Structures are given as structure tokens and as C-alpha cells.
Amino acid sequence: MASIAVTSSDSIITVGAGGAIWQYSEASWADRQSGFSDDLNDVAFLDSDFGFACGESGSLIFTDDGGATWDYREAPEGARDSNLVSAGYYNPFRMFAISSTGQILASTSQGGHIWNLVEIESQNYATSLSRNLNSIDVASASIILFTGPSNYLAVSLDGGNIVSKSILPEGLSTSFNDFAMVDYKTGVAVGDGGVILWTDDSGKDQLIGFEIPDYNNFGEFAEYADDMLLGGFLATIKIVGFGILFGFFIGTVLALFKTAPNSLKQIFERYSLTTVKTLGGVLSISGFYLLMTGGSRFGALGLDGIEYIYTPVGDPRGFGIFVLGLAMAAVGVQFVLADQKLTGPLFKIRPLNSIATVYTDFFRNTPLIVQFMFIHFGVGIGLKIQKAYEGNFGDMGTDGLDYFFFGQSAFISAIFTLGLNSGAYQCETIRGAIAAIPTGQMEAGRSIGLTYMGTMRLVILPQAIRICIPPLGNEMVNLVLNSSLAMVIGYSELARQGRLIIAVTFQIFWAWGMVMISYFVITWTLALLLRRLEEKTRIPGLGIIGGD
């Protein structure tokens, strides 16, 4: 085993190779399966319940039940292939880990859901100390101690932003391996060859001292913030660009669904009444079977009364079977009772329109921030796409186009959320534009031999898209502003970078002011491009453009 942690007077957790986790409790050892095969190097606990372990390939796993079960935590971009060698857990909002190559990972979120690489100011804001490390000890909320080979002992007084090497006794040559601290000031460091060093001041270098940045100086504040804001600016443009394209595609498809004219009556009136009734019998039997199959699963959920509205969450598969069975049974009964003219109420249903309506109603009537958290943390769509890609094409590395598209699960989830949400709104805009095209144009297209879809593609849609550019532009600007909500899933766009800047500098006015200006630059530029596009694509003679 590689590391051990005492979690209570009668409980011990050890971790080791191949993701092994063993717990000693009630005078016996139990194998706690982590579900991961990478070697685990260290484990740290806050109390008897909360702890985390780290290891190879950026492995971070968390427990909130004393080590009985473990959940995966995603390492930050740039550390997913790193060998994490040591962990420190100081309080619910201060968790740290280090890699063997000098990276410092920090989490300030309860439960360790979000991890970031510390930008080390003493290394010109690099994300690595550029040296090998052996262990970390978190002495307080801000004081961190580091050990490493080649006489390396260092301390940071500000959570890893500035790391300074400690002065050691002359003639010493060793590799330091670990710290043991009595409190945030007093402790010992141990190294090869039986070396033990004592400190009563957190290993601080009293001769050199530390330089404290003056963030009350706007120039120094801007120097610290500009790189972070630039990264957030580019990250925002990245999800906005793909979100607009994805949303436009979904909106166009849904608009075609909503304007599809074919009802069940138009689809089935070409068949004989006997065929319709026979099909209705098959649908009825199948529908009632699915209805009973899906409904029989709900009792196991232990719900009562109004709680059954949460069935889609408790048993999505069972609910889907139930709804499909209900739809098939209703349509089947209508088919069985049909007359020669197919005049029943369900024959007026337009299937494609109904599908699009359900989609738009769902995404337009639930909060976007909840959609972000459900899609990323609940469905885990970003992580699933990452794993599917690596399963088919292998490791994506840390650069290149594959990493650009699939390297960060929060990026994938953000694109899906923004695209799915915006598509619901763009659908209604495009549908309205299609409805504004005179019906005679569809009739003219059909009269020259075009199919319905051919007429839509060649005649109707080109005009409808040109008509709806102004309202689509407004929706795209809203998409830019809504992208700020991606901060809740840990994506490093502008708003999240603003929060991180404030956490270090405490300059609230300056930080949010610079974030606002950055958003304005994006939206204003987008508005200018859309205005230019509108002028270039305006249909001559359509609309009122002015007068005396």
C-alpha cells in the first residue's frame, strides 16, 4: 500500500496500486472498490466522513461516508495525465494535491467537485514549479509546505501563488520526503539518510521575507487579471461559437418539424379502413402491454401522491416505456374506432409537430442554470463523450484538435446545454419566419414538380432565414450573455475568471467592471456582424425601411 489515513479511533483507510482501497473497521479489513485501476499514491481525510485520494493519470476520488464509497472528481485541464503524489485536506473549502512534476492542484468547492491548477506567481504564473515534488502539507488555510529531492523544502503563505524555498543548514544533501506538523507553525521534515529538520515558524525564510502584491494599484491589478480575463474571453468565444451553430441546426430542424403539414389523417387516409383498424388493434395491444410494464415499475420507487410527478427522474426507462405505451394505446383505440373519413380527434395530430412542441416546451420552461447542472453533473454528457472518444480513438493527449474539442468535459456539456436551450428559442423564430412566407410560393414550388422538402429547401427556407436574421441575432446575443452560467459547472469562461480574480485580489468593482467590458466587446462585435449580414441579405422590396 502507498498511503494510510486514520479517520477515527477505530477506522483506518489505506490506498495503493491498481486503485486498491482497504478500510480497517470493527477489528476487520474490508476491500473498498474504487472502480478505478490507476495507482493511488496518497489519501487525506478532513474528519471521519470526508476524504479524498489522488494518484496516477490525474486520478482524484472523493468520499463522504468514511471511505465506504468513492466518487470520481475531474482533474483540471493540464493535469489529467499527471502523477498526483500527495494530498492535503485542511477544511471543506481547502483541498490541495501536487504532481510529481511540480503542479499544484487546488479545490475551494465543498465536496471537491471543481479543481484548478494554481498559477504560481513566483514562477511567472506558470502552472508548475518546474521541479519534482514528494509531498505536501496544508498547515493552514493559506500556508502550504512542500518537500522534494535535491534539498527541496519550500513554503507558500498564500495558497500556492508564491512559493519560496526555505534556507537549510549548511552541508546538507538529502531528498526530503514528508512533513509532520503539530500546528500551523511547529513541525518536522524528514529526508533520506535519517535527516530530520525542525521548524517553529512554518518553515518561513526569515532572512528573505515575502513580497506582497499591492492590488490596490490598478496597474498591478490589471497585470494580474489580464491573462486570466484573456483566457476567459477565448473560452467564452469558444462555447458561444459552437453553441450558436449547434442551436441554429436544432432550431432549423425543429422549425421544419413544427411546420410539417401531415397529420395522422393525411398519412393513413391512403390505406383501407380495414388496414387502419388492424393496425389499431396491434397498437392497442402493444400499447397496453407497455403501459402495464412501465407502470408496474413505479411501485418500487416508494412514491406517494403528488410525488409521482418525479417518476421521470426516479425511473427514466420505466417512465419512457409508460409514456410510449400510453401514446400507442390512445392512437390504437382511435384507429380501432375510426370511420371511413377518419374524423376522430387524434387523427388531427401532426406527429412531427408534437415532437417539436414537447422539446420546445421543456427547454423554454426550465431554468438554464438547472439545465447546465443536470446535463453536466446529472447526465454527465461531457464525460461520456470523452470516454467514448478515447475508447474508439485512444488517448487525446494535451494538445491538437482532438484535445481542443474533447479535452474538457465542461466545454462539451456547455456546448450541448447552450445549443439545446437556444435551439428551442430559435425554433420559434424560424417557424414564425416560415409562416410569414406567402402560401402561394409553396404551391408554386409543388406545381413545378418539387417535393415538399425540396420546396422548403430551395424556396421557403432561403427567404425565411433572411427574414429572421434580426430576431435570431437577438437570440445569439442572449446566448453570449447566458454563457456566463457555464461557471456553475466549472467552465473557465469570463464570469468564472472574474470570481477567481476577486478571490485573490478582493477588488470587486475593478474585476466585474473588466468582465462587463469583455462581454460588451463580444456582444457588440456580434451585433455589428449580424447587422452587416442583415444588410447584405435583405430581400429587395420586403419590409418598410423608412420614408418622409
Topology (CATH level 3) of domain 3-199: Methylamine Dehydrogenase; Chain H (2.130.10)
Q: Starting from the edge strand earliest in sequence, which strands make up the sheet with 40-45, in order? A: 40-45, 51-55, 60-63, 71-73
Domain boundaries, the chain: 3-199, 213-247+353-540, 263-349
Burial of 16 per CB tally in 10 Å (0-12, 13-18, 19+): middle
Question: Which of these ranges, 192-196, 478-482, 518-522, has the smallest mean pLDDT?
Answer: 192-196
Please tell me the pTM assigned to this model: 0.60
**β-strands 21-25, 11-15: how paired?**
antiparallel
3-state secondary structure 129-169: CCCCCCEEEECCCCCEEEEECCCEEEEECCCCCCEEECCCC
Query: Is 469 a residue whose pLDDT tops 90?
Result: no
CATH code for residues 213-247+353-540: 1.10.3720.10
Rounded-to-integer distance, Cα 548 and Cα 544, Å: 12
Report the pLDDT averaged over residues 528-533: 89
What would the pLDDT profile of 40-73 be if each residue is shown by its tens digit?
A: 999 999 998 999 999 999 999 999 999 889 998 9
Cell of 391: 475508447
pLDDT at position 62, please?
A: 93
Sequence letter at residue 319: F
Sequence letter at residue 380: G
Query: Is 397 a residue whose pLDDT tops 80?
Result: no
Residue count of the chain:
548
Cell of 203: 518553515
Rounded-to-integer distance, Cα 70 and Cα 340, Å: 63
pLDDT at position 193, please?
A: 86
